[in-house]
Structure 1
C-alpha cells in the first residue's frame, strides 16, 4: 500500500489532520501494512494526480458548462489580465472584469516560482474539476487545457497600429514542468473563416527545471485578424494524467503599440501570498487555544514578496493592513493600524515587506473578545500604486497591489499553507508516519481527519493502522 498524506486546502477541513488536542505533545502515528514489499518503507514524493476543487467552484464550473454556448460580450482594447483578480469565466466577478470564455484552466498563486505578479493561469493535465484527462493509460499524451479569450473589437484597427499579444510564461516552476522536446505551449489566433477559424501563430517546447518567466510578443499583423470577433487562445500539449507538464501564464495583454511585454508602466505589485499570521509552524489552530496565549501564537513577522516594475526606481508608500472578522454577521472587529510609510526610493525588481515589523504593530491583531469558540478573520494588505493595469488609483482594491489572507480559528491545528504542490507516500512493509503537535492547553482529541490523495496505483483493499 502507498499511504498518502496531502493537506491541500483549509477550505475543506478534511484536508487537514484535525484535532481538539490534549495538553503537552500530541503524536499521531500512521502505520501502513503490506502483504509484500520492501522490508523498510521508502518515502516517495510524486506529482498530484488530482487536485481538490472547493464545492462552490465545482458548482460554478458546472453552471458555466450549462451556459457554455453563451459568449461574453466583445471587449475593446486594451485587454489586460495579470490573474490577480477573478477574471475566469466561472469565477464570481462582474462581466466587465472577466477576460476568458469557459475553460478548464485554473488560477493559482503557489505553483509558479516568483511570477511577475501574484496569480497565474496554470495549464496542465487536469480538467476543470481537478481530475486527470486520462486516468489509467500509461504515458497518455495529447492536447490538454485551452484558455480562450473573450472576443475583442479589432474591426477598427489596421496593421499600422502595432497591435500585439504579449504575455509571460514559465514551464513548471514549483510544479512539474513541461519536458523539453516533448511538450508544447501553443498560441492560435481566430480569423474570419467559418470552417477553420483557428490559425497557429506561435509555440515553444518545454524547459527542464525552469524557474524563470519568459516574455513573449506576438504581433497581430494579418488583415484577417482585424474584425470584431477576434479571439486568441493558448493551449498546451503534454501528459494527460494529472498536475504534470505544467505551464504558468502571467500578465497577458493585447493593445496598440504593444510590441513590448507588459507592464510598461511604473508599478509595485505583490508576487506571492503572505505567510500565516500565526507563529511558525501554525497556519490554523483552535480559538480557545489561541486566546489562552495570544502573544505566544501571533507571528512576530509576516513577510510578503513584491516586485517593482518600470525603468526607474519606485517608492513603496502608504502600505496598510486591516483585520476584519467575517464569520459573524454584524460583528466587524475592524482593526486598522495607522498606515505606515516606507520611504524606499531605490526599489527595483524583487523586494520584501514585513507587514508586522515595518508597520510597527504592537497591539493584538485579533480581538480576543469576539468569540469563545470559532472565529474567521480577513487580513487585508495593500500598498500604493494600486491597479495600474486597470487604470485605477484606489488603495485596497482586489488587484495585484492588494491581497486578502484568511486567518481561520476553528477546532483543528494545521501546519499547511492551504495548498498542495506534491503528494507524499510511504511504500514498503511496516512503514510509519508520525505527526506531532506541540500544544500548550489541555483539551480532548475528538478525531483525526486525513485526506488520501489518489497516487496513480490502485490501493483498494489495502489497510493501515492509526494509533
Structure 2
C-alpha cells in the first residue's frame, strides 16, 4: 500500500545526488466509535438542527444513523461555531475505504439522517454550510459533495444537489434545498450528504456545518441568528513552548507554562436585535483532579452590535490554580456564556483539559497529517527539546509516540538521543540508541499516544537541551508519526531529519506527537496483576518474554495476542492455566483477548525489553 499512497506534499531537501525525502500524508483522526441506529417507526419531527458542537467525535445518534464522518475542529478554516463534520476517504475507524485508491468518482464518506416525519408539512427546506478543503487536501474538479433524498413511497434515493471541487480551499458557503413532492413529505423520509472522491485515505476534504431542516421556510431563510463559540477552548498554556510539562516543576521553572489568562473566540451571528445582544461572557469552573478550585458565575453583561465577525474575551486563570502539586494532575475547565436568545445551548460552552504527568509535549494532541522520511533505510528524525529546567534525578525513561499505521505497514524503529552540536543547529554526537527494536503501532483509539520505555535510563543532566527522536529500521515500509499542524515549532526547538550521513532542517510546519518522559514509566505500563469479575488473571504487566494467564472457570480457553492494528499475532488453545511465549514480538502496546465458553475478555498490556 505504501507505494500506492498519494503524497500531498514533499520536499527533496538533500543534494541532487541524494534521495531522502521528507513527506506528510493526509490523515483522518476519526473517533473509533459507531452510532446507534433508529428504527423506521422512530421518526423524528422537524426542526432538525445540528451544528456538530457535540465533542464526542462522532455524529449525534439521535439525529444520524451512521458515524463515518469525523466531528472535529481540526480541519475547518474560520468556521462560525465549534464543530464541523469532515468528509474524506476514511471510515469511522480512520482507515481508508479502499487502500491505494485515488479514483475521484467513487462514493466515500456519507452522513445519513435518521427517519423524519414530514407528513402534512409544507415549505420544507434543507440547508447547511459547506467548505472545500479547510486545512485538509482540496477536492479537485472531479470530486463532489452531493445531497440525496429518500422517498418512503418507492424506497429510492434521488440526487437533488451537488457542488464540485475546485482544487483549492474556500470559505463556508450555504446550500438551500427545497423538499418538494408527496413522495418525500411522508413519514419515513431521510436525507444524506455524501462525498465522491478518493477512497484511499484522508483526501478530497469537505467540511459541513449547521445542518437545518424545517417547515415554513423559504429560499432566503439561510441566516443563522445566535451567539456561539467560534473556536474550541484554547490550550491551557502561557507564552512558553510546552503544552505539557512534568508536574513536579514549580511555576518559576523555565519549562513550566501556566498562563495568566485565556482568550476565547465567539461570534454574534445574524440580524442585530434592537439595542444589541446582551450576553453574560466569561463564566467558568476550574477543576484539578476532580476538585473545584474556583468558579465565576457573576460576570458583566456585554452588549454590542458587532455581528458576523470573530470577537474575543479573556478569562483570568485562578490564582490558586496549579499551585503546589503532589503528583500527576489533570486540569479540566468549563467556560460558558448565556443571555437572551442564546440559540443552541451546546455551542455556548467549551471545555478544556491539561494533563501534567512526567513528559514534555509540544503538540495539542491531534494529528492532521502523517509525517515520515521516505526512500532511505535507516532514516532518522530528531526533535530538539529544551531540558535545562529538569533536575539531576530527572533521567530520560522513554518516549511516547502517536504512530500512524496503514494497511501493510510493519514498522520497526529504535529510539535515539543526540547531544547538541558544537556549532550550528543540527544534532551532534549520538548519546544513546536503544538495543531494542520496537514496533510502531497505533493505539486502540487513533489518537492514542503509546509509551516506549528505553532499555536503560539516559542521564541528560549535563545538557540544557538534547535531541530526541527515532531511527527507522523498516525495510519495506515507512514509520509515520502524527503531525500536529496547528502547533508551529518554536524557533529555538527545530526539527531535523537525516539519512545517517547528513542532517537536513525540516520544512514541514507543525509539531510531531512525540513526547519524552522522565523519572518513571507511565502508570499504564505499571499495571498490577489483573483480576476482574469474570475471573481471569494475567501477569506480569509489562511483560518481557512470557505472559502467565489463568482462568478460574472450567474448560479450555483461547488466548490471543492482537496488535493495535487488529492483526492476530499469537493464538493458542490452552488449559485454564497457561504461559504464552511473547519473545518473538516487538516491544510495544498490545491487546490480549481471552475466550472461555460464553465469556469474552479484552485488555491492553505492554511488551517491554529491559
- Larger radius of gyration between Structure 1 and Structure 2: 2
1:255 matched to 2:214? The reply is: yes
Q: 1:291 to 1:85 in 2, by over 3 A?
A: same
**Aligned residue among 383, 391, 416 for 1:466:** 416
**Aligned residue among 76, 97, 110 for 1:112:** 76
CA–CA separation in structure 2 for the residues paired with 1:52 and 1:123: 12
Report deviation, 1:279.
Answer: 1.8
Could you say what secondary structure the match of 1:298 adopts? coil
1:286 matched to 2:246? The reply is: yes
CA–CA separation in structure 2 for the residues paired with 1:72 and 1:252: 23
CA–CA separation in structure 2 for the residues paired with 1:247 and 1:315: 32
Q: 1:146 to 1:130 in 2, by over 3 A?
A: same
1:128 matched to 2:92? The reply is: yes
Determine the structure 1 residue equivalent to 2:478: none
Determine the structure 1 residue equivalent to 2:467: none
CA–CA separation in structure 1 for the residues paired with 2:341 and 2:94: 31
Report deviation, 1:378.
Answer: 1.5
**Aligned residue among 164, 187, 191 for 2:151:** 191
Q: 1:225 to 1:166 in 2, by over 3 A?
A: same
Counterparts of 1:45-444 in structure 2 under 5 Å? 45-48=24-27, 51-52=28-29, 58=32, 60-61=33-34, 64=35, 68=37, 70=39, 73-85=42-54, 98-137=62-101, 139=103, 142-157=106-121, 161-180=122-141, 182-194=142-154, 196-260=155-219, 264=223, 266-280=225-239, 281-291=241-251, 293=253, 297-312=257-272, 314-315=276-277, 317-325=279-287, 327=289, 331-337=290-296, 339-341=298-300, 343-356=302-315, 361=316, 363-364=318-319, 366-369=321-324, 371-385=325-339, 388-390=342-344, 399-427=346-374, 429=376, 432-439=380-387, 440-442=389-391, 443-444=394-395
Q: Deviations over 1:67-90 (max 9, x none)?
A: 6574682111111110012688x6
Q: Deviations over 1:202-231 (max 9, x none)?
A: 111113222300101001121211111111
CA–CA separation in structure 2 for the residues paired with 1:426 and 1:334: 45
Q: 1:295 to 1:437 in 2, by over 3 A?
A: closer
Contact 2:262–2:317, Cα closer than 8 Å, also in 1: no
- In structure 1, stretches of 5+ residues that fail to align are 3-36, 391-396
The structure with the largest strand share of the pair is 2
- In structure 2, stretches of 5+ residues that fail to align are 3-15, 418-610
Determine the structure 1 residue equivalent to 2:21: 42
CA–CA separation in structure 1 for the residues paired with 2:225 and 2:382: 49
TM-score, normalised via structure 2 length: 0.59
CA–CA separation in structure 1 for the residues paired with 2:213 and 2:359: 46
Q: 1:225 to 1:140 in 2, by over 3 A?
A: closer
Q: 1:441 to 1:108 in 2, by over 3 A?
A: same
Report deviation, 1:134.
Answer: 0.9
Q: Deviations over 1:66-124 (max 9, x none)?
A: x6574682111111110012688x66x7x7xx211123112111201011211011111
Contact 1:386–1:400, Cα closer than 8 Å, also in 2: no
Report deviation, 1:463.
Answer: 5.3
Report deviation, 1:233.
Answer: 0.7
Could you say what secondary structure the match of 2:203 adopts? strand
Could you say what secondary structure the match of 2:110 adopts? strand
Contact 1:165–1:255, Cα closer than 8 Å, also in 2: yes
Report deviation, 1:431.
Answer: 5.0
Report deviation, 1:177.
Answer: 2.0
Q: Deviations over 1:9-65 (max 9, x none)?
A: xxxxxxxxxxxxxxxxxxxxxxxxxxxx963743323312xx445xxx53x42xx5x
Determine the structure 2 residue equivalent to 1:32: none
Q: Identify which of structures 1 and 2 has the higher relative contact order when contacts are C-alpha pairs closer than 8 Å and 6+ apart.
A: 1
C-alpha root-mean-square deviation of aligned residues, in Å?
Answer: 3.2
Could you say what secondary structure the match of 2:248 adopts? helix
CA–CA separation in structure 1 for the residues paired with 2:406 and 2:255: 40
Q: 1:362 to 1:200 in 2, by over 3 A?
A: closer
CA–CA separation in structure 2 for the residues paired with 1:402 and 1:302: 15
Q: Deviations over 1:392-434 (max 9, x none)?
A: xxxxx5x111110112112212111121212223335575533
Report deviation, 1:278.
Answer: 1.3
